[in-house]
Structure 1
Amino acid sequence: MDRNLGATKTYYTAPASGDNTADQAFGLFYQWGRKDPFPRALGSTIDAGNASASTIPIYGPDGKTVLSEDGTGYKKVDIKTVGIVSGTNSLAYSVTHPLSLIFNSEHPYDWYATSEGNQNDALWDDKKEKNVYDPCPEGWRIAPDGTWSDFTRTTDNAQPLNGTFPYYIEGSPKEDGESGDYDITNGRLYKVSASGNGTPIAWYPASGYYHHANGTLGGVGCDGYYWSSTANEYNAPALSFYPQGLHSTRTHGRAHGFQVRCIQE
């Protein structure tokens, strides 16, 4: 797709500084294996001091009543809370409580189970047919590990366009960002040419993440995390980037809330 799942806007060039619509490129967040999303960050509320932000409002069935949950648009619950895990997993709870982000600060850092032996690798398994837990629309599915293998960055901050996936800070290509450079328009722009020249293909905003250990929103306007459908031991691989680095296969605890970029089946 040319945008994150749940985003309402895409870019074929990096959004410029001062673009107040840039946060519409932020997608919804998903915990690995869950079908229901969590609200995206509201870019205009970014706090550059700690890369936090507020979330967009979520409305009830009448389209007018804002669902406050615990004041952030979603509810954060510890997997060890009584009633979350039924039998060996929390699947039933997650389906009946779609706005409850189940965090887990202990190994295996999964929202689904408290032990490796009870984890479910088949929820988004890229080795089988798409199932009901894949949130992508018909004809699309979550990208498998390896999708971003040709995304590269420069190691020379003075030459940030020497790579297919340069980082942009407030509309300008550079990879030397500091804490004060968190911005609604930050992210990476994928291009086909290894030199970083040529026609841009897709914009990946620095949408931030929900942390596996406490469910809080962070890294907004600085970091980008995108789930793959692949299970890897007790974690799952994801595309992850920040101003000075890029990792196309680093694994993360499944209780994290990351972005999703669908691919055609």
Structure 2
Amino acid sequence: MILRKRLSDLFILVLLLVGCSVLAQNQLKIGTNANNISGSAVLELESETRGFLPPRMTHSQKTDISSPAAGLIVWCTNCGTNGEMQVYNGVGWINFSSTVPGAPTGAVATAGNTQASVAFTAPASNGGSAITGYTVTSSPSGFTATGASSPLTVTGLTNGTSYTFSVVATNAVGNSVASAASVAVTPRTVPDAPTGAVATASNTQASVAFTAPASNGGSAITGYTVTSSPSGFTATGASSPLTVTGLTNGTSYTFSVIATNAVGNSVASGASAAVLVSTCSANVGGTLKEFLCYNLGVTGTQDPLSYQGGANNGTLYQWGRQTDGHEVRTSTSQAGPVSAPVAGKFITNGSSPNDWRNPQDNTLWLDASKTANDPCPPRFRVPTQAQWGGLFSDGLTSGAPGTATRNTWTWTGNGFTVGSKLYLPAASYRTVLSAALGNVGSDGFYWSSTVNGANAYYLYFTSGNVFPGYSAYRGSGFSVRCISE
């Protein structure tokens, strides 16, 4: 009885299927014209009085479907204004009639340091599906940035290169066409720092050479600024070298350089080596020292770096004496020794130890400090023997000019050019025996403040040899060239 009932139900189902469909080669048609099925359809529905009714569910129910297959269709009852047909495209649910968004508009780029910020306006239409993001792309090079909204920043750009940018919008269906390209912009930043600052000092000024920075930051350098330390004196210009003026002679300065472009200023270069600002200076024992440009007694404004026909010879001092007229080359003499100086008189003495003074006094001039008797102006003093030695090759070492190790000594017209900023004329001497002058223009005699027993050290030179540690009677009349304290 049960078997008979089941056979009856199966027969009825077959009659229904035959009445409304044709099953051929795994195809199924439901509706009218059951014998006419499209060859490309696996399932065909045909009716002039009824429609296709997909599953109906709320948005929440739709999203609860586990692992929906791409192409799954539902009617979302509370989506859109009055519900809408939606299909799962493998990424998300979209309106059945959705398309890609319209193109964003109004792309405007603002360049920075190796990057650009690109602002844009969202498309007028999202294509029926919410926009999930935007992509900005550069031209050239195709650098990109993605994000949910405007603006987006594209990084990794090359400073100095011109770029345009376009934007696409993306929704669940796909990507829009690209926006119109932005106006071209050029990423840039401040320049790198200049390098290799080297200062060369002269009278109240210094010329500072430097090397341009390796990168201009993507924008042409418009100028450079050199700044002194101390005091902050500056010089500006388009290229190296630049000359800083208004400096104080006798002061040591370093200099740094910045480069400027349309963006702004670089960081400062490393400081130059310190230079001593003076018309006359030289290396003394490894330190740049300032000298007076003339021997004591020289007046005028003539070139200090040449003999000037003897105009730069100056006066001749007895050791330990102040300026009192005795040093004038034509001053009258008086036999000595004496216990105190006699103004205007060159004191002669033919007896040992041939000092102008008796008793001798080793403290009239001192190595340790400038004394009240020192004839040099403020800030300067009579050099020590060690300083004369340091000007040549240190110590008491004598030799030909070419053996000098501290400065180049060049015989130049009746005197030595020492380095490039000091000239010592061969001003000769007056003898303590008779006050007579020696051979002017061939020999140089320059006092030190250093005693040597009953005598005192001095710098002596001829055109062929330099003797920084010779010793002479203190009553002799020699040149004085003052050195900074």
TM-score (norm 1): 0.63
For 1:23 and 1:112, the matched residues in 2 are separated by 30
Judged with a 3 Å threshold, the aligned counterparts in structure 2 of structure 1 residues 154 and 25 are, in CA distance, closer, same or farther, namely same
Say yes or no: does 1:231 pair with 2:440: no
Give the corresponding residue for 2:254: none
Show CA shifts across 1:109-150 (max 9, x none).
Answer: 10012xxxx3100000122x4332111111211111111224
For 1:135 and 1:155, the matched residues in 2 are separated by 31
Judged with a 3 Å threshold, the aligned counterparts in structure 2 of structure 1 residues 3 and 108 are, in CA distance, closer, same or farther, namely same
For 2:367 and 2:379, the matched residues in 1 are separated by 14
**How much has 1:221 moved relative to structure 2?**
1.0
Give the corresponding residue for 1:126: 367
Letter of the structure 2 residue corresponding to residue 26 of structure 1: N
Say yes or no: does 1:253 pair with 2:473: yes
For 1:161 and 1:120, the matched residues in 2 are separated by 33
Judged with a 3 Å threshold, the aligned counterparts in structure 2 of structure 1 residues 22 and 119 are, in CA distance, closer, same or farther, namely same
Q: Secondary structure at the match of 2:350?
A: coil
Give the corresponding residue for 1:24: 311
**How much has 1:22 moved relative to structure 2?**
3.2
Q: Which of the two has higher C-alpha Rg?
A: 2
**How much has 1:166 moved relative to structure 2?**
2.5
Identity %: 32
Say yes or no: does 1:164 pair with 2:405: no
Letter of the structure 1 residue corresponding to residue 350 of structure 2: S
Conserved? CA contact 1:142–1:229, under 8 Å: yes
Judged with a 3 Å threshold, the aligned counterparts in structure 2 of structure 1 residues 260 and 10 are, in CA distance, closer, same or farther, namely farther
Q: Which runs of 5+ in 1 are unaligned?
A: 16-20, 41-54, 56-72, 172-185, 192-199
Judged with a 3 Å threshold, the aligned counterparts in structure 2 of structure 1 residues 122 and 155 are, in CA distance, closer, same or farther, namely closer
Say yes or no: does 1:202 pair with 2:422: yes
Letter of the structure 1 residue corresponding to residue 372 of structure 2: V
Judged with a 3 Å threshold, the aligned counterparts in structure 2 of structure 1 residues 262 and 10 are, in CA distance, closer, same or farther, namely farther
For 1:214 and 1:134, the matched residues in 2 are separated by 24
Conserved? CA contact 2:400–2:466, under 8 Å: no
Give the corresponding residue for 1:182: none
Q: Secondary structure at the match of 1:189?
A: strand
Say yes or no: does 1:103 pair with 2:343: no
Letter of the structure 1 residue corresponding to residue 431 of structure 2: H
Q: Secondary structure at the match of 2:310?
A: helix
Letter of the structure 1 residue corresponding to residue 381 of structure 2: R
Q: Secondary structure at the match of 2:450?
A: coil
Show CA shifts across 1:220-264 (max 9, x none).
Answer: 111110000111110000001112221001010000000111111
Among candidates 285, 290, 298, match of residue 7 of structure 1: 298
Q: Secondary structure at the match of 1:22?
A: helix
Written as runs of structure 1 = structure 2, the 5 A alignment for 1:53-68 is: 55=329
Conserved? CA contact 1:3–1:202, under 8 Å: no
**How much has 1:161 moved relative to structure 2?**
10
**How much has 1:165 moved relative to structure 2?**
1.6
**How much has 1:12 moved relative to structure 2?**
6.0
Say yes or no: does 1:77 pair with 2:334: yes
Written as runs of structure 1 = structure 2, the 5 A alignment for 1:40-59 is: 55=329
Shifted more, 4-13 versus 251-260: the winner is 4-13
Letter of the structure 1 residue corresponding to residue 351 of structure 2: E
Q: Which runs of 5+ in 2 are unaligned?
A: 1-291
Conserved? CA contact 1:7–1:28, under 8 Å: yes
Greater fraction strand: 2
For 1:215 and 1:142, the matched residues in 2 are separated by 22
Judged with a 3 Å threshold, the aligned counterparts in structure 2 of structure 1 residues 205 and 108 are, in CA distance, closer, same or farther, namely same
> What is the number of equivalent residue pairs in this alignment?
186
Conserved? CA contact 2:317–2:327, under 8 Å: no
Show CA shifts across 1:166-192 (max 9, x none).
Answer: 323xx3xxxxxxxxxxxxxx111101x
Deviating beyond 3 angstroms after TM superposition, the runs of 4 or more aligned structure 1 residues are: 9-15, 37-40, 152-156, 159-163
Query: Comparing both chains, which one has the higher relative contact order based on Cα–Cα distances under 8 Å and sequence gaps of 6 or more?
Result: 1
Give the corresponding residue for 1:148: 388
Letter of the structure 1 residue corresponding to residue 478 of structure 2: F
CA RMSD of aligned residues (A): 2.6
TM-score (norm 2): 0.36
Judged with a 3 Å threshold, the aligned counterparts in structure 2 of structure 1 residues 131 and 155 are, in CA distance, closer, same or farther, namely closer
Among candidates 304, 321, 325, match of residue 34 of structure 1: 321
Q: Secondary structure at the match of 1:102?
A: strand
Conserved? CA contact 1:77–1:102, under 8 Å: yes
Judged with a 3 Å threshold, the aligned counterparts in structure 2 of structure 1 residues 12 and 99 are, in CA distance, closer, same or farther, namely closer
